Amino acid sequence: MVTLKCSYTVKPAEPTPIIRQWLPEADQLQALTHAPTVYFYPSSKPDSIDSPLETLKDSLSQALVYFYPLAGRLHVIDGGRLELDCNAMGAEVFEAYSESTIKDFGDFAPTPELRKLLVPPIDYNNTPFHELPLVLVQLTKFKCGGLSIGLAISHSMVDGQAALHFISCWAKIARGEKLVDSDQPFLDRTILKMDDDNNKKGPRYHHVEFDPPPLMIGASDDKEERSKETTVTMLKLTKEQVEKLKQKANIDRTKDDMKVRMYSRYESLAGHIWRCTCKARGHDDEQLTGLRISVDCRHRLRPPLPPKYFGNVTFKSTPVAKSGDLMKKPLSYAASKMREGAEMFNDDYIRSSVEYLKNESDWSRIRRGFHSVGCPQGDYLGNPNLAVTSWIGLSIYDADFGWGKPIYMGPATLGFDGKSFVIPGDGDGSLLIALRLRVDHMEAFKEFFYQDI
Protein backbone atom coordinates (compact mmCIF):
# COMPACT_ATOMS: atom_id res chain seq x y z
CA MET A 1 0.00 0.00 0.00
CA VAL A 2 1.38 3.41 -1.02
CA THR A 3 -0.10 6.75 -0.01
CA LEU A 4 0.52 9.78 -2.20
CA LYS A 5 1.03 12.71 0.16
CA CYS A 6 1.76 15.73 -2.06
CA SER A 7 2.62 16.71 -5.60
CA TYR A 8 4.70 19.61 -6.84
CA THR A 9 5.43 21.28 -10.16
CA VAL A 10 9.17 21.90 -10.49
CA LYS A 11 10.22 24.50 -13.03
CA PRO A 12 13.73 25.53 -14.16
CA ALA A 13 15.55 27.56 -11.51
CA GLU A 14 16.50 30.21 -14.09
CA PRO A 15 14.89 31.58 -17.29
CA THR A 16 15.31 29.20 -20.23
CA PRO A 17 14.70 29.64 -23.98
CA ILE A 18 10.99 29.77 -24.89
CA ILE A 19 10.99 28.26 -28.36
CA ARG A 20 9.38 25.62 -30.57
CA GLN A 21 11.79 22.82 -31.36
CA TRP A 22 11.74 20.52 -34.38
CA LEU A 23 12.05 16.81 -33.56
CA PRO A 24 13.85 14.39 -35.91
CA GLU A 25 12.54 11.08 -37.17
CA ALA A 26 14.33 9.10 -34.45
CA ASP A 27 12.20 10.96 -31.88
CA GLN A 28 9.03 10.65 -33.94
CA LEU A 29 9.31 6.84 -33.95
CA GLN A 30 9.01 6.49 -30.20
CA ALA A 31 5.90 5.62 -28.24
CA LEU A 32 3.68 8.47 -27.04
CA THR A 33 4.10 7.13 -23.52
CA HIS A 34 6.67 7.47 -20.74
CA ALA A 35 9.45 5.00 -19.95
CA PRO A 36 9.01 3.88 -16.32
CA THR A 37 12.08 3.01 -14.25
CA VAL A 38 12.67 2.65 -10.52
CA TYR A 39 15.67 3.08 -8.22
CA PHE A 40 15.90 1.56 -4.71
CA TYR A 41 18.09 2.98 -1.92
CA PRO A 42 18.86 1.25 1.41
CA SER A 43 17.92 2.55 4.82
CA SER A 44 21.44 3.34 6.03
CA LYS A 45 21.95 6.64 4.21
CA PRO A 46 18.76 8.76 3.95
CA ASP A 47 18.85 9.77 7.64
CA SER A 48 21.93 11.87 6.89
CA ILE A 49 19.89 14.02 4.48
CA ASP A 50 17.71 16.71 6.05
CA SER A 51 15.03 16.36 3.39
CA PRO A 52 15.40 13.96 0.45
CA LEU A 53 12.31 15.52 -1.13
CA GLU A 54 13.71 19.07 -1.01
CA THR A 55 17.05 17.80 -2.28
CA LEU A 56 15.34 16.17 -5.27
CA LYS A 57 13.19 19.21 -6.04
CA ASP A 58 15.95 21.79 -5.75
CA SER A 59 18.45 19.81 -7.80
CA LEU A 60 15.82 18.96 -10.44
CA SER A 61 15.01 22.66 -10.77
CA GLN A 62 18.67 23.39 -11.43
CA ALA A 63 19.09 20.42 -13.80
CA LEU A 64 16.15 21.64 -15.91
CA VAL A 65 18.10 24.80 -16.69
CA TYR A 66 20.64 22.70 -18.60
CA PHE A 67 18.10 20.17 -19.87
CA TYR A 68 15.31 22.68 -20.50
CA PRO A 69 13.59 20.66 -23.28
CA LEU A 70 12.41 18.26 -20.55
CA ALA A 71 10.52 21.13 -18.87
CA GLY A 72 8.45 21.65 -22.03
CA ARG A 73 5.45 19.95 -23.59
CA LEU A 74 4.84 17.98 -26.81
CA HIS A 75 2.29 18.97 -29.45
CA VAL A 76 0.87 16.91 -32.31
CA ILE A 77 1.05 18.75 -35.63
CA ASP A 78 0.31 17.84 -39.28
CA GLY A 79 0.32 14.13 -40.11
CA GLY A 80 0.71 13.16 -36.49
CA ARG A 81 4.27 14.50 -36.20
CA LEU A 82 5.39 15.86 -32.85
CA GLU A 83 6.82 19.26 -32.08
CA LEU A 84 8.39 20.32 -28.80
CA ASP A 85 7.19 23.47 -27.09
CA CYS A 86 10.02 24.61 -24.79
CA ASN A 87 7.74 26.56 -22.45
CA ALA A 88 9.30 25.89 -19.01
CA MET A 89 6.06 24.36 -17.69
CA GLY A 90 8.21 22.02 -15.61
CA ALA A 91 8.27 18.48 -14.26
CA GLU A 92 5.95 16.87 -11.70
CA VAL A 93 7.26 15.49 -8.41
CA PHE A 94 5.19 13.29 -6.08
CA GLU A 95 5.88 12.46 -2.44
CA ALA A 96 4.63 9.08 -1.21
CA TYR A 97 4.86 6.82 1.82
CA SER A 98 4.62 3.04 1.98
CA GLU A 99 4.04 0.70 4.91
CA SER A 100 6.10 -1.85 3.00
CA THR A 101 9.84 -2.41 3.28
CA ILE A 102 12.31 -2.72 0.43
CA LYS A 103 12.58 -6.46 1.16
CA ASP A 104 8.87 -6.81 0.40
CA PHE A 105 9.69 -6.17 -3.27
CA GLY A 106 11.83 -9.30 -3.43
CA ASP A 107 13.97 -9.42 -6.58
CA PHE A 108 12.38 -6.19 -7.94
CA ALA A 109 10.63 -7.97 -10.81
CA PRO A 110 8.83 -5.37 -12.95
CA THR A 111 5.31 -6.48 -12.14
CA PRO A 112 2.21 -4.34 -12.78
CA GLU A 113 1.97 -3.85 -9.01
CA LEU A 114 5.48 -2.38 -8.78
CA ARG A 115 4.68 0.04 -11.62
CA LYS A 116 1.39 1.06 -10.00
CA LEU A 117 2.88 1.60 -6.53
CA LEU A 118 6.22 3.26 -7.18
CA VAL A 119 6.02 5.20 -10.46
CA PRO A 120 3.93 8.37 -10.86
CA PRO A 121 0.45 7.86 -12.31
CA ILE A 122 -0.14 9.30 -15.79
CA ASP A 123 -3.68 9.84 -17.05
CA TYR A 124 -3.32 9.45 -20.80
CA ASN A 125 -7.08 9.18 -21.34
CA ASN A 126 -8.29 12.32 -19.61
CA THR A 127 -5.32 14.71 -19.79
CA PRO A 128 -4.80 16.55 -23.09
CA PHE A 129 -1.60 15.30 -24.70
CA HIS A 130 -0.05 18.78 -24.85
CA GLU A 131 -0.48 19.13 -21.08
CA LEU A 132 1.37 15.95 -20.10
CA PRO A 133 4.67 16.60 -18.28
CA LEU A 134 7.69 15.04 -19.95
CA VAL A 135 9.27 14.09 -16.62
CA LEU A 136 7.42 12.74 -13.58
CA VAL A 137 9.14 11.69 -10.36
CA GLN A 138 7.85 9.80 -7.31
CA LEU A 139 9.88 9.71 -4.10
CA THR A 140 8.57 6.89 -1.91
CA LYS A 141 9.69 6.50 1.70
CA PHE A 142 9.41 2.97 3.12
CA LYS A 143 8.73 1.87 6.67
CA CYS A 144 12.26 0.47 6.88
CA GLY A 145 13.78 3.89 6.21
CA GLY A 146 14.73 3.14 2.61
CA LEU A 147 13.70 5.11 -0.44
CA SER A 148 12.71 4.54 -4.02
CA ILE A 149 12.67 6.98 -6.90
CA GLY A 150 10.20 6.12 -9.63
CA LEU A 151 10.73 7.95 -12.92
CA ALA A 152 8.56 8.33 -15.98
CA ILE A 153 10.32 10.14 -18.83
CA SER A 154 8.80 10.73 -22.26
CA HIS A 155 9.91 8.12 -24.82
CA SER A 156 9.68 10.78 -27.51
CA MET A 157 12.32 12.94 -25.83
CA VAL A 158 15.15 10.58 -24.95
CA ASP A 159 16.57 7.12 -25.41
CA GLY A 160 18.24 5.24 -22.58
CA GLN A 161 21.64 6.85 -22.96
CA ALA A 162 20.22 10.38 -23.03
CA ALA A 163 17.91 9.70 -20.08
CA LEU A 164 20.78 8.40 -17.96
CA HIS A 165 22.90 11.42 -18.93
CA PHE A 166 20.16 13.66 -17.54
CA ILE A 167 19.75 11.59 -14.36
CA SER A 168 23.51 11.46 -13.77
CA CYS A 169 23.80 15.27 -14.03
CA TRP A 170 20.74 15.77 -11.84
CA ALA A 171 22.24 13.52 -9.17
CA LYS A 172 25.59 15.32 -9.44
CA ILE A 173 23.86 18.64 -8.71
CA ALA A 174 22.02 17.03 -5.77
CA ARG A 175 25.38 16.01 -4.28
CA GLY A 176 26.46 19.65 -4.37
CA GLU A 177 28.83 19.27 -7.32
CA LYS A 178 29.02 21.63 -10.27
CA LEU A 179 28.50 20.48 -13.82
CA VAL A 180 31.56 20.81 -16.04
CA ASP A 181 31.74 21.42 -19.78
CA SER A 182 31.81 17.69 -20.52
CA ASP A 183 28.46 17.31 -18.72
CA GLN A 184 26.65 19.81 -20.95
CA PRO A 185 23.97 18.28 -23.23
CA PHE A 186 24.04 19.00 -26.97
CA LEU A 187 20.48 20.21 -27.58
CA ASP A 188 20.38 21.12 -31.29
CA ARG A 189 18.36 18.28 -32.83
CA THR A 190 18.40 19.85 -36.30
CA ILE A 191 21.77 18.11 -36.74
CA LEU A 192 19.65 15.06 -37.63
CA LYS A 193 17.67 16.75 -40.42
CA MET A 194 20.05 15.20 -42.97
CA ASP A 195 18.81 17.42 -45.80
CA ASP A 196 21.69 16.77 -48.19
CA ASP A 197 21.57 15.90 -51.89
CA ASN A 198 22.24 12.22 -51.24
CA ASN A 199 19.18 11.89 -49.05
CA LYS A 200 16.89 13.59 -51.56
CA LYS A 201 17.18 10.44 -53.66
CA GLY A 202 14.84 8.73 -51.20
CA PRO A 203 15.31 5.42 -49.35
CA ARG A 204 17.89 3.12 -50.94
CA TYR A 205 17.09 -0.09 -49.05
CA HIS A 206 14.14 -2.25 -48.18
CA HIS A 207 13.70 -1.32 -44.53
CA VAL A 208 12.66 -4.62 -43.02
CA GLU A 209 12.55 -3.06 -39.54
CA PHE A 210 9.27 -1.38 -40.52
CA ASP A 211 7.65 -4.55 -41.89
CA PRO A 212 4.96 -6.31 -39.83
CA PRO A 213 6.52 -8.94 -37.53
CA PRO A 214 6.01 -12.66 -38.30
CA LEU A 215 2.77 -14.36 -37.24
CA MET A 216 2.30 -17.87 -35.94
CA ILE A 217 2.05 -20.44 -38.73
CA GLY A 218 -1.57 -20.72 -39.83
CA ALA A 219 -2.67 -17.48 -38.15
CA SER A 220 -4.05 -14.52 -40.10
CA ASP A 221 -3.65 -12.10 -37.20
CA ASP A 222 -2.27 -11.90 -33.65
CA LYS A 223 -5.53 -11.51 -31.72
CA GLU A 224 -5.37 -14.93 -30.09
CA GLU A 225 -1.76 -14.46 -28.95
CA ARG A 226 -2.53 -11.05 -27.48
CA SER A 227 -5.21 -12.59 -25.27
CA LYS A 228 -2.93 -15.16 -23.58
CA GLU A 229 -2.04 -14.68 -19.91
CA THR A 230 1.55 -13.62 -19.23
CA THR A 231 3.84 -13.40 -16.21
CA VAL A 232 7.09 -11.66 -15.27
CA THR A 233 10.31 -13.07 -13.84
CA MET A 234 13.85 -12.01 -12.94
CA LEU A 235 16.72 -14.31 -13.89
CA LYS A 236 20.34 -13.94 -12.78
CA LEU A 237 23.58 -15.03 -14.36
CA THR A 238 26.84 -14.86 -12.43
CA LYS A 239 29.98 -13.50 -14.06
CA GLU A 240 31.16 -17.10 -14.54
CA GLN A 241 27.89 -18.11 -16.23
CA VAL A 242 28.03 -15.08 -18.53
CA GLU A 243 31.58 -15.93 -19.57
CA LYS A 244 30.63 -19.58 -20.15
CA LEU A 245 27.77 -18.49 -22.41
CA LYS A 246 30.07 -16.14 -24.31
CA GLN A 247 32.60 -18.94 -24.80
CA LYS A 248 29.84 -21.20 -26.04
CA ALA A 249 28.85 -18.63 -28.68
CA ASN A 250 32.44 -18.20 -29.86
CA ILE A 251 33.85 -21.73 -29.66
CA ASP A 252 32.00 -22.96 -32.74
CA ARG A 253 32.46 -19.93 -34.97
CA THR A 254 33.20 -20.62 -38.64
CA LYS A 255 36.48 -19.63 -40.31
CA ASP A 256 34.79 -16.56 -41.76
CA ASP A 257 33.54 -15.65 -38.29
CA MET A 258 37.08 -15.86 -36.93
CA LYS A 259 38.12 -12.90 -39.09
CA VAL A 260 35.92 -10.52 -37.09
CA ARG A 261 35.61 -9.65 -33.40
CA MET A 262 34.26 -12.21 -30.95
CA TYR A 263 30.59 -12.21 -30.06
CA SER A 264 29.91 -9.94 -27.10
CA ARG A 265 28.16 -10.80 -23.86
CA TYR A 266 24.99 -9.16 -25.19
CA GLU A 267 25.08 -10.97 -28.54
CA SER A 268 25.70 -14.29 -26.81
CA LEU A 269 22.99 -13.79 -24.21
CA ALA A 270 20.37 -12.39 -26.62
CA GLY A 271 21.00 -15.30 -28.99
CA HIS A 272 20.59 -17.70 -26.07
CA ILE A 273 17.31 -16.07 -25.00
CA TRP A 274 16.06 -16.23 -28.61
CA ARG A 275 16.80 -19.97 -28.89
CA CYS A 276 15.33 -20.79 -25.47
CA THR A 277 12.16 -18.84 -26.23
CA CYS A 278 11.62 -20.82 -29.44
CA LYS A 279 12.03 -24.07 -27.51
CA ALA A 280 9.76 -23.02 -24.64
CA ARG A 281 7.06 -21.90 -27.07
CA GLY A 282 7.20 -25.24 -28.88
CA HIS A 283 7.74 -23.72 -32.31
CA ASP A 284 7.68 -25.78 -35.49
CA ASP A 285 11.00 -25.81 -37.35
CA GLU A 286 9.56 -23.65 -40.16
CA GLN A 287 8.15 -21.00 -37.81
CA LEU A 288 9.60 -17.55 -38.55
CA THR A 289 10.58 -15.54 -35.50
CA GLY A 290 11.86 -11.97 -35.17
CA LEU A 291 14.22 -10.56 -32.53
CA ARG A 292 13.74 -6.82 -31.89
CA ILE A 293 16.94 -5.10 -30.74
CA SER A 294 17.90 -1.45 -30.26
CA VAL A 295 20.85 -0.08 -32.23
CA ASP A 296 22.56 3.04 -30.88
CA CYS A 297 23.53 5.02 -33.97
CA ARG A 298 25.44 7.87 -32.31
CA HIS A 299 28.80 6.60 -33.57
CA ARG A 300 27.50 4.96 -36.73
CA LEU A 301 26.77 8.24 -38.49
CA ARG A 302 29.47 10.01 -40.48
CA PRO A 303 30.50 12.29 -38.98
CA PRO A 304 29.50 10.89 -35.56
CA LEU A 305 27.13 12.96 -33.48
CA PRO A 306 28.64 15.36 -30.94
CA PRO A 307 29.32 13.92 -27.49
CA LYS A 308 26.31 14.23 -25.18
CA TYR A 309 23.79 14.62 -28.02
CA PHE A 310 20.48 14.76 -26.17
CA GLY A 311 17.61 12.90 -27.80
CA ASN A 312 16.76 9.59 -29.44
CA VAL A 313 19.42 8.07 -31.68
CA THR A 314 18.38 4.44 -31.48
CA PHE A 315 16.78 2.54 -34.34
CA LYS A 316 15.15 -0.86 -34.06
CA SER A 317 16.48 -3.83 -35.98
CA THR A 318 14.48 -7.04 -36.28
CA PRO A 319 16.53 -9.95 -37.66
CA VAL A 320 14.29 -12.86 -38.64
CA ALA A 321 15.18 -16.57 -38.64
CA LYS A 322 13.49 -19.96 -38.72
CA SER A 323 12.97 -21.36 -35.25
CA GLY A 324 14.34 -24.75 -36.36
CA ASP A 325 17.63 -23.17 -37.39
CA LEU A 326 17.92 -21.33 -34.10
CA MET A 327 17.17 -24.42 -32.03
CA LYS A 328 19.28 -26.93 -33.96
CA LYS A 329 22.30 -24.89 -35.03
CA PRO A 330 25.04 -23.74 -32.61
CA LEU A 331 24.56 -20.63 -30.50
CA SER A 332 26.91 -18.78 -32.86
CA TYR A 333 24.16 -18.89 -35.52
CA ALA A 334 21.70 -16.93 -33.37
CA ALA A 335 24.46 -14.48 -32.37
CA SER A 336 25.45 -14.02 -36.02
CA LYS A 337 21.85 -13.25 -37.07
CA MET A 338 21.66 -10.65 -34.32
CA ARG A 339 24.96 -9.09 -35.37
CA GLU A 340 23.86 -8.94 -39.00
CA GLY A 341 20.75 -7.07 -37.94
CA ALA A 342 22.76 -4.47 -36.05
CA GLU A 343 25.64 -4.04 -38.48
CA MET A 344 23.46 -3.11 -41.44
CA PHE A 345 22.92 0.20 -39.64
CA ASN A 346 25.83 2.07 -41.20
CA ASP A 347 25.71 5.76 -42.14
CA ASP A 348 24.05 5.15 -45.51
CA TYR A 349 21.40 2.80 -44.13
CA ILE A 350 20.53 5.20 -41.28
CA ARG A 351 20.14 8.10 -43.72
CA SER A 352 18.01 5.91 -45.96
CA SER A 353 15.82 5.06 -42.92
CA VAL A 354 15.31 8.76 -42.28
CA GLU A 355 14.29 9.29 -45.92
CA TYR A 356 11.87 6.38 -45.67
CA LEU A 357 10.29 7.96 -42.60
CA LYS A 358 10.12 11.43 -44.14
CA ASN A 359 7.68 10.02 -46.69
CA GLU A 360 5.35 8.87 -43.92
CA SER A 361 2.07 10.80 -44.00
CA ASP A 362 0.46 9.08 -41.01
CA TRP A 363 2.74 8.64 -38.02
CA SER A 364 0.09 6.83 -36.02
CA ARG A 365 0.62 3.87 -38.37
CA ILE A 366 4.33 3.52 -37.81
CA ARG A 367 4.96 4.91 -34.33
CA ARG A 368 6.02 2.23 -31.89
CA GLY A 369 4.72 1.45 -28.45
CA PHE A 370 1.10 0.38 -28.82
CA HIS A 371 1.80 -3.33 -28.45
CA SER A 372 1.57 -3.47 -24.66
CA VAL A 373 -0.49 -5.97 -22.71
CA GLY A 374 -4.22 -5.31 -23.02
CA CYS A 375 -3.88 -2.98 -26.00
CA PRO A 376 -5.29 -4.17 -29.35
CA GLN A 377 -3.44 -1.61 -31.50
CA GLY A 378 -0.07 -1.60 -33.23
CA ASP A 379 2.39 -4.34 -34.13
CA TYR A 380 2.47 -7.18 -31.63
CA LEU A 381 5.98 -8.38 -30.81
CA GLY A 382 4.93 -11.35 -28.68
CA ASN A 383 4.87 -15.01 -29.77
CA PRO A 384 6.52 -15.91 -32.14
CA ASN A 385 8.71 -12.81 -31.66
CA LEU A 386 10.57 -11.16 -28.81
CA ALA A 387 12.54 -8.04 -27.89
CA VAL A 388 15.80 -7.97 -25.92
CA THR A 389 17.01 -4.55 -24.78
CA SER A 390 20.50 -4.26 -23.34
CA TRP A 391 21.50 -1.85 -20.57
CA ILE A 392 24.99 -3.35 -20.41
CA GLY A 393 27.47 -0.49 -20.42
CA LEU A 394 24.96 2.15 -19.32
CA SER A 395 25.66 4.09 -16.13
CA ILE A 396 22.54 2.93 -14.33
CA TYR A 397 24.12 3.03 -10.85
CA ASP A 398 25.33 6.65 -11.06
CA ALA A 399 22.12 8.03 -9.54
CA ASP A 400 23.61 9.01 -6.16
CA PHE A 401 21.57 11.98 -4.94
CA GLY A 402 23.57 12.31 -1.75
CA TRP A 403 22.40 9.21 0.07
CA GLY A 404 24.49 6.62 -1.72
CA LYS A 405 24.21 4.63 -4.91
CA PRO A 406 21.06 2.61 -5.62
CA ILE A 407 21.07 -1.04 -4.67
CA TYR A 408 18.98 -1.72 -7.76
CA MET A 409 17.78 0.10 -10.86
CA GLY A 410 15.57 -1.39 -13.53
CA PRO A 411 12.42 -1.14 -15.64
CA ALA A 412 9.16 -0.77 -13.75
CA THR A 413 7.11 -2.65 -16.33
CA LEU A 414 7.41 -5.01 -19.32
CA GLY A 415 4.85 -4.34 -21.99
CA PHE A 416 4.27 -7.65 -23.75
CA ASP A 417 5.00 -11.35 -24.13
CA GLY A 418 8.65 -11.72 -25.12
CA LYS A 419 9.83 -8.34 -23.81
CA SER A 420 13.07 -8.44 -21.83
CA PHE A 421 15.83 -6.22 -20.46
CA VAL A 422 19.42 -7.22 -19.74
CA ILE A 423 20.57 -5.31 -16.64
CA PRO A 424 24.16 -5.22 -15.37
CA GLY A 425 24.95 -6.11 -11.78
CA ASP A 426 26.66 -3.45 -9.69
CA GLY A 427 30.26 -4.07 -10.67
CA ASP A 428 30.45 -7.82 -10.07
CA GLY A 429 30.11 -8.92 -13.69
CA SER A 430 26.70 -10.53 -13.14
CA LEU A 431 23.67 -9.83 -15.32
CA LEU A 432 19.96 -9.73 -14.53
CA ILE A 433 17.31 -10.54 -17.12
CA ALA A 434 13.84 -9.12 -16.62
CA LEU A 435 11.44 -11.10 -18.83
CA ARG A 436 7.73 -11.35 -19.59
CA LEU A 437 6.42 -14.56 -21.17
CA ARG A 438 3.20 -16.48 -21.41
CA VAL A 439 2.38 -18.30 -18.18
CA ASP A 440 2.38 -21.68 -19.92
CA HIS A 441 5.84 -21.05 -21.41
CA MET A 442 7.75 -19.58 -18.46
CA GLU A 443 8.81 -22.70 -16.54
CA ALA A 444 10.02 -24.43 -19.70
CA PHE A 445 11.98 -21.31 -20.61
CA LYS A 446 13.74 -21.25 -17.24
CA GLU A 447 14.72 -24.89 -17.64
CA PHE A 448 16.16 -24.34 -21.12
CA PHE A 449 17.81 -21.07 -20.05
CA TYR A 450 19.97 -22.62 -17.33
CA GLN A 451 20.82 -25.85 -19.14
CA ASP A 452 24.57 -26.23 -19.65
CA ILE A 453 25.49 -22.88 -18.08
| Residues annotated as part of the active site | 155, 400
Cα–Cα distance for residue pair 42/429, rounded to 1 Å: 21
How far CA 267 is from CA of 156, 270, 335, 424, 433, in Å, comes to 27, 5, 5, 14, 14
- Ramachandran category for residue 439: left, alpha or beta (phi over 0 → left; psi -120 to 50 → alpha): alpha
Beta pairing, strands 2-10 & 91-98: antiparallel
Contact status, residue 253 vs residue 329, Cβ threshold 8 Å: no
Q: What is residue 148's three-state secondary structure?
A: strand
| CA-wise closest residue to 435 among 409, 410, 453 | 410
| CA-wise closest residue to 23 among 370, 357, 371, 366 | 357
CA 274 remoteness from chain centre: 18
How far CA 247 is from CA of 65, 240, 266, 291, 333, in Å, comes to 47, 11, 12, 22, 14
Cα–Cα distance for residue pair 133/73, rounded to 1 Å: 6
Q: What DSSP designation does 258 have?
A: G
With a CB cutoff of 8 Å and minimum separation 6, the contacts of 10 are 57, 60, 61, 64, 90, 91, 92, 93
